[in-house]
Amino acid sequence: MTELLNGKGLSLVPKTDAKQTLKDFKSDQEVRWCPGCGDYAILAAVQSFLPELGLRRENIVFVSGIGCSSRFPYYLDTYGFHSIHGRAPAIATGLAASRPDLSVWVITGDGDALSIGGNHLIHALRRNVNLNILLFNNRIYGLTKGQYSPTSEVGKITKSTPMGSLDKPFNPISLALGAEASFVARTIDSDRKHLQSVLREATAHRGTSLVEIYQNCNIFNDNAFEPLKDPEVRDDITLRLEHGQPIVSASKAVVRGDDGRIAVVPRADVAAERILVHDAHSPDPSLAFALSRLDEPAFEHVPIGIFRQVDRPAYDVLMAEQLEEAVAQQGPGDLSDLLMGGDTWRIG
């Protein structure tokens, strides 16, 4: 299955023989995030990953919405479109659907993608347009200076919620799976190796890939993901999802209980064959969904990696096929024939 999926994501994007380096992807613009922001690490990871793809730089486009993360395109020397709040998936859909020769990336945040742009996100996912969506989740509104976001935990004290936020947050992975996403993954800003491994699979995927990136906002929501970074505990709580591999952390394992539900148990307590083996390619998303619910309420054990990766026709390819089919059936369009096509009559 992996073979089947591998490389297809960019098969229509022209490659270059020229050797590329990280430097080729740095624009001349000064990066202006707050010192210590997790966005720097993600930018550096992306810039150093892109040369690996070997694509012609001019065929890469980064589209973003509004928010701190959405400044991202300005810092990459590719084509870029910094658009308006929440609408990047819609704009990128039009671009990718009409230009299958482009590698189109969407850079968005938890407010941009899940609040104001929630509708566009879910519809992009179900359509499966060839997009890589990187959702920087810092669980806070940074650019507007610290209001709670749709991924903030209940009870979050912020400027707009002095007595605590009331609404239950979205789980972006669960949401994406519910929206029929064909590729859903989670990674973290501080683990460049893992982040890049996820990007590798995301770009190879033909269709929409959603990558949630836990990203630290050191100004308004510092240490939100600290347990995942703390050397003392991170290996115990991080469940690495790898297709075909048992789902385990250093000390825990995922098993399926007698009631059919999945559970996290001490690794020492179960025989190796009882440990659930990850199947990201299953047509049935229920395991992926169950895994996405494991970190509720928060950070007891957090699955990281690719939850789901299934092969499904991409929208842009299907759209292009319909155009080809129409030409095959009716011949190429002729304006004169079109205008004369109805009931006509001649005078004079």
Partner 1 sequence: MTKQVQQLDRVIIRFAGDSGDGMQLTGDRFTAGTAEFGNDLSTLPNFPAEIRAPAGTLPGVSSFQLHFADHDILTPGDAPNVLVAMNPAALKANLGDLPRGADIIVNTDEFTKRNLQKVGYETNPLEDDTLAEWRVHAVPLTSLTVKALEGFDLSKKDAERSKNMFALGLLSWLYHRPIEHTITFLQQKFAKKPEIAKANIAAFQAGWNYGETTESFSVSYEVKPARLAPGVYRNISGNQALAYGLIAASVQAKLPLFLGSYPITPASDILHELSKHKRFGVRTFQAEDEIAGVGAALGAAFGGALGVTTTSGPGVALKAETVGLGVTTELPLIIVDVQRAGPSTGMPTKTEQTDLLMAMYGRNGESPVPVVAPMSPSDCFDAAIEAARIAVKYRTPVMLLSDGYLANGSEPWRLPEISELPDISQAFTTEPNGEDGAFLPFKRDEETLARPWAIPGTAGLEHRIGGIEKADGTGNISYDPDNHDLMVRTRAAKIAGIDVPDLEVDDPDGDARVLVLGWGSTYGPIAAAVRRIRKSGGKVAQAHLRHLNPLPANTGEVLKGYDKVLLPEINLGQLALLLRARYLVDIISYNRVRGLPFKAEELAGVIQDVIDSD
Footprint on this chain of partner 1 (rule: CB under 8 A): 14, 27, 29, 56-61, 63, 66, 73-74, 77-84, 87, 90-99, 101-102, 119-120, 122-123, 319, 322-323, 325-327, 329-333, 335-336, 338-340, 342-348
Biggest distance spanned by C-alpha atoms of the chain: 95
User: From the CB of 200, what's the least distance to partner 1, in Å?
Assistant: 22
User: From the CB of 83, what's the least distance to partner 1, in Å?
Assistant: 6
Q: Which residues pair with 6 in a beta bridge?
A: none
Both structure tokens of 182: 């064909």
**Sign (positive or negative) of CA dihedral 96, 97, 99, 103:** positive
Q: Are 60 and 93 spatial neighbours (Cβ–Cβ below 8 Å)?
A: no
Distances from the Cα of 57 to the Cαs of 66, 91, 95, 289, in angstroms?
24, 20, 16, 36
User: From the CB of 48, what's the least distance to partner 1, in Å?
Assistant: 18
User: Closest CB to partner 1 among 101 and 222?
Assistant: 101
User: From the CB of 261, what's the least distance to partner 1, in Å?
Assistant: 33
Both structure tokens of 322: 């319909």
User: From the CB of 18, what's the least distance to partner 1, in Å?
Assistant: 10
User: Closest CB to partner 1 among 27 and 282?
Assistant: 27
User: Closest CB to partner 1 among 83 and 209?
Assistant: 83
User: From the CB of 320, what's the least distance to partner 1, in Å?
Assistant: 9
- Angle, CA of 182, 63 and 243, to the nearest 5°: 25
Compute the distance between CA of residue 63 and CA of residue 51 in angstroms, rounded to an integer: 19
Of 100, 85, 192, nearest in space to 143 by CA: 85
Q: Which amino acid is at 171?
A: N
User: Closest CB to partner 1 among 66 and 199?
Assistant: 66
User: Closest CB to partner 1 among 103 and 238?
Assistant: 103
> In sequence order, which residues have a C-beta less than 8 Å from that of residue 273 and are 6 or more positions away?
none
Compute the distance between CA of residue 135 and CA of residue 215 in angstroms, rounded to an integer: 9
User: Closest CB to partner 1 among 78 and 292?
Assistant: 78
